Amino acid sequence: MTNFKSAKIVSVGSYVPENVMVNKEFEKFLDTSDEWITTRTGIRKRHIAPRDQLTAASDLGSRAAMVAIERAGLEPGDIDGIICATFTPDNFFPSTACSIQARLGCSSAYAFDVSAACAGFVYAITIANGLILSGRGKNVLVVGAEVISRTLDWTDRSTCILFGDGAGAVVIQGCNDVGQGILATHLASDGSLGNILELPAWGEKRTMKMKGNEVFKHAVRMMSEASIKVMKCSGTVLDDINFFIPHQANIRIIQAVADQLQIPVEKVVTNLEHYGNTSSASIPLALEEVWNKGAIVEGTRVLFTALGGGIAVGSAMVQF
C-alpha cells in the first residue's frame, strides 16, 4: 500500500450521443421558443441518447472513460478504482461503476457510484483524492455519466429544455509533488432544500421536478460560498486562477457566480450552449474543451464548482 502525498488529474475524456436536439424542436410540442431558451439559459442545443434503444449511463461513461485511460497512457488493468457520479444509474445495483469496470476490463479496480446529482463530479474527485492519499491505489478513474433525457417530463417547459445526455471522465493519479494536484475541496449539503429539485425513485410519476427560481438563487449563493472556501483553504488568490469551470446549468447562474467571485469573463469556461446541463458530466466535458486547445499545462490552476439536487454543493481547486 503506497501513501501518495497528492493526487493529480492526468487526463480527461468525454462522450456524447450523436443525436442533437436544437431549441427550435421544442417549439413543435411546447409553448416556448428558441429565443426564450437561448436568452434565459444560454443553451442552444443538447445531445439526447436514442429513445428507441436502451443506451445506458454505463455506455456513455465507458466511452468517455476509455478516452481518459488511453490519454493517461494506461491500460484498463492499471486502474485501481472507479467512481461513477450519476443520478441516472443503469440499475440500483449493480452500480454503473461496476458495469463500466466489466465493460472496460478494469479487473484490478474496486468500483462504486456516488449520488450527489449535478454536484457528483466534484464529490467523486474529492473521494478519489482521499482514497489515493490513504493508500487505496494509484490510478482512480472518475466518471460522470448521465442519460437525463429519460427522467424528464417532456410537457414541462421549465425543466425539459435545460438538460442533455453525456459523459466525462478523468484519471486521477497519486504523486509525491506537494503543492500540486487537488489542492483543496469543499463539500456542503442542505437537505432541507431537497424539495426544490427532486427525482423520485418510486411511484407512478418518476420525472424530475424543479422550482427553477429557488434553485437559481441557492445555486448562486452556495457555489459562491463553496468557491470562496476552497480559495481560502488552498491559499489561492484571484490572480492565481487560470480557469473557472463551473457546472453548466444556466449561463445566468454562471455569470452571477463569476461576478460574486470577481473572476474575469475570459477565465470562465462555458460550453452549455452546445450540451445543456449534463449534470455530473458537465465539468469534465468543459475541462476537455480547454484541454484539447492545449491550454492546460503544468501549473495551470483551475477552480471547479457545482451544485445539484440534495441540495449538494462542492468546489475544488486543482493545479495541473
Binding interface with ligand COA (CB under 6 A): 32, 36-37, 40-41, 118, 157-158, 161-162, 210, 212-213, 215-216, 219, 249-250, 277, 307-308
> At residue 82, what are phi and psi to the nearest 5 degrees?
-130, 125
The cell 450540451 sits on which residue?
275
CA distance 146 to 116: 12
Cell of 270: 462555458
* Shortest separation between residue 267's beta carbon and ligand COA, angstroms: 21
* Shortest separation between residue 312's beta carbon and ligand COA, angstroms: 10
* Shortest separation between residue 212's beta carbon and ligand COA, angstroms: 3
Work out the angle between the directed axes of helices 34-41 and 251-261 (0-180°, nearest 10): 20
Parallel, antiparallel or unpaired: strands 45-47 and 20-22:
antiparallel
Task: Rank residues 111 and 161 by Cβ distance to ligand COA and give the closer one.
Answer: 161
Residue 261 CB burial class (10 angstroms; 0-12, 13-18, ≥19): buried
Residues 6+ apart with CB under 8 A from 268: 243, 244, 246, 254, 255, 258
The kind and range of the H/E element at 166 are strand 166-175
- 118 among known catalytic residues: yes
* Shortest separation between residue 196's beta carbon and ligand COA, angstroms: 9
* Shortest separation between residue 35's beta carbon and ligand COA, angstroms: 9
Residue nearest to ligand COA (CB): 212
CA distance 14 to 27: 29
Annotated catalytic residue within 84, 118, 160, 218: 118
Residues 6+ apart with CB under 8 A from 152: 159, 160, 163, 207, 208
Distances (CA, A) of 259 to 224, 234, 236, 296: 9, 21, 17, 23
Distances (CA, A) of 242 to 151, 237, 238, 263, 311: 35, 11, 9, 10, 28
Task: Rank residues 58 and 248 by Cβ distance to ligand COA and give the closer one.
Answer: 248
CA distance 223 to 228: 9
- 247 among known catalytic residues: yes
* Shortest separation between residue 158's beta carbon and ligand COA, angstroms: 4
Task: Rank residues 40 and 229 by Cβ distance to ligand COA and give the closer one.
Answer: 40
Task: Rank residues 109 and 281 by Cβ distance to ligand COA and give the closer one.
Answer: 281
Asked whether the beta carbons of 177 and 5 are under 8 A apart, the reply is: yes
- 218 among known catalytic residues: no
Task: Rank residues 118 and 263 by Cβ distance to ligand COA and give the closer one.
Answer: 118
* Shortest separation between residue 160's beta carbon and ligand COA, angstroms: 8
Asked whether the beta carbons of 183 and 137 are under 8 A apart, the reply is: no
Task: Rank residues 174 and 308 by Cβ distance to ligand COA and give the closer one.
Answer: 308
Task: Rank residues 41 and 58 by Cβ distance to ligand COA and give the closer one.
Answer: 41
Looking at the annotation, which residues are catalytic? 118, 247, 277
